[in-house]
Amino acid sequence: MRCDVLAIGTELLLGQIVDTNSAWIGEQLAEAGIDTYDHRKIGDNLARMVASLRSLLDEADAVIVCGGLGPTPDDVTREMIAEVMGVELERHEDLIEEIKRIFGSRAREMTDNNLRQADIPVGAAPIPNPIGTAPGIRAVFPYGGREVAVYAVPGVPYEMQQMVRDHVLPDLLARSGEQAVIRSRSLKTWGTSESALAEMIDHRVEAQTNPTIAFLARGIEGLYVRMTAKAPTEAEAIALLDAEDAELRTILGELVFGIDDETMESTVLDLCRARGWTLGVAESLTGGLIGARVANVAGASEVFRGAVAAYATEVKRDVLGVTADSVVSEECAVQMAEAAQRVLGADVGIGITGVAGPAEQDGQPVGTVWYAIAVPGHPTEAVTARLPFDRERIRQFSTITVLNLLRLRLRSLA
């Protein structure tokens, strides 16, 4: 089974919007074991759209079309599919009612243009859109001596994703004769390089076909090890994931900081919460980034007390009471972590200081960072690193690194 992707919109060609939809769809297709070989972006031009869809259907068994389903005269995905099928559009009365209902409930004024969203090619079927006004389209028809499928979905990412997940993928799998349930899980890691990680688990990657194992490098979000399992039932797919998860963790150990929707900051907050501890941050070169990242977790307020971004040396001395000679030193980082406990009334304190550039400071080169972690009842510990990055990456990298150090410290107490 081969399914390609056609993204519609002149704004995509002009670079006003980056097409992220086709990458997301490609990821889902790969997980589902469906081949995808050709992704295209075409502007809102009916003749070119028709030619492009035909050319894709010459090779592919199915095509997912994103965008061009809106109410404006530009939006001609409906017309494109009708033309390739060789049929007319027909207006669906039940869809008109649905569109009117949605407009009513949002108290917006509906123009007649919106009724075009109730047009479906004869012989095709609408796909419900529970979160937008434009229904999708599923068209299965003979083409080039065989049966092909075209799915039209909205260009709005969250509407597209819901429709692909709930309708298009199950339909594609049914058409491919595949009865399997597909489930995936990502083990998120921090603390080693991509090549070192690959070497650690190469034998598992080679040995495993179900679940398959892949790497995803997500920059300062970490390196993910993604397992994808296929089985007759969800329970069996989950069991396959659980078994491989256990194998991988015996190899990866503490490199794994979370799975799927867990983030480094949510993991750290969970570890603090489990002990009933609160968290405070004293940061310098990161300027508030650590606090901002922690505060972005819903429910952070139970644990997170706050942060002092002591950018100027005087703020380190006056607000945090730093007495260290150099503000880029182990002593300073330790004093900052302990000040985070004291000044912010927190059980756990993070201290971080260093040189993000552009210029060196206190005789220390750009990229020098000191991290300190203070926890109740134990001596405060500090480590240093020299980061070979630019200003922005030094700040981002330091942020996840110090959160990871806190995670490891809390785990070591367990």
State the nearest-atom distance from the C-beta of 294 to a second copy, in Å. Answer: 7
Please report how close the Cβ of residue 125 comes to a second copy at its closest, in angstroms.
27
Residue 286 C-beta: closest distance to a second copy, Å: 7
With contacts defined by CB under 8 A, name the span among 80-88, 127-135, 203-211, 356-364 that binds a second copy. 356-364
Token pair recorded at residue 120 = 């479906």
- Give CA angle at 134 (133, 135), nearest 5°: 115
> For a second copy, which residue of 110, 180, 181, 315 counts as binding (CB under 8 A)?
315
- Rounded to a whole number of angstroms, the minimum distance from the CB of residue 173 to a second copy is 18
Q: 380 and 338 in contact (C-beta within 8 Å)?
A: yes
Using CB under 8 A as the binding rule, the residues of this chain from 51 to 110 that contact a second copy are 52, 55
Q: Please, how many CA atoms are within 13 Å of residue 103, restricted to the half-sphere of its CB?
A: 17
Task: Give me the least distance between CB of 284 and a second copy, in Å please.
Answer: 8
Q: Which of residues 266-285 bind a second copy (CB under 8 A)?
A: 278, 281, 283, 285
- Residue whose structure tokens are 């005087």: 314
> For residue 353, which of 340, 369, 335, 341 has the smallest C-alpha distance?
369
One-letter amino acid of 127: I
- How many residues make contact with a second copy (CB under 8 A)? 73
Q: How far apart are CA 274 and CA 327, in angstroms?
A: 33
Of residues 9 and 126, the one with the C-beta less far from a second copy: 9
Q: Is 158 in the site for a second copy (CB under 8 A)?
A: no
Please select the residue that binds a second copy; options are 138, 183, 188, 305, rule is CB under 8 A.
Answer: 305
Tell me the CA distances in angstroms from 259 to 175, 187, 401, one per residue in order.
31, 5, 18
Q: Which residues, numbered 392-411, are part of the site for a second copy (CB under 8 A)?
A: 392, 395
Range 358-387, binding a second copy (CB under 8 A): 358
Residues 206-265 that bind a second copy (CB under 8 A): 214, 216-217
**For residues 241 and 308, which CB has a smaller minimum distance to a second copy in the complex?**
308
What's the CA gap between 218 and 260, in Å, rounded? 13
> Of residues 176-215, which lie at the interface with a second copy (CB under 8 A)?
214
Closest CA to 221 of 47, 77, 400, 74: 400
Whichever of 117 and 278 has its CB closer to a second copy, that residue is 278
Secondary structure of 273-302 as H, E, C letters: HHHCCCEEEEECCCCCHHHHHHHCCCCHHH
Site for a second copy in 12-41 (CB under 8 A): 12-20, 22-28, 30, 36-41
In 3D, which of 166, 403, 184, 393 has the Cα closest to residue 279? 403
Q: What is the closest distance, in whole angstroms, from the C-beta atom of residue 116 to a second copy in the complex?
A: 21
Kindly state the smallest distance separating residue 166's Cβ from a second copy, in Å. Answer: 19
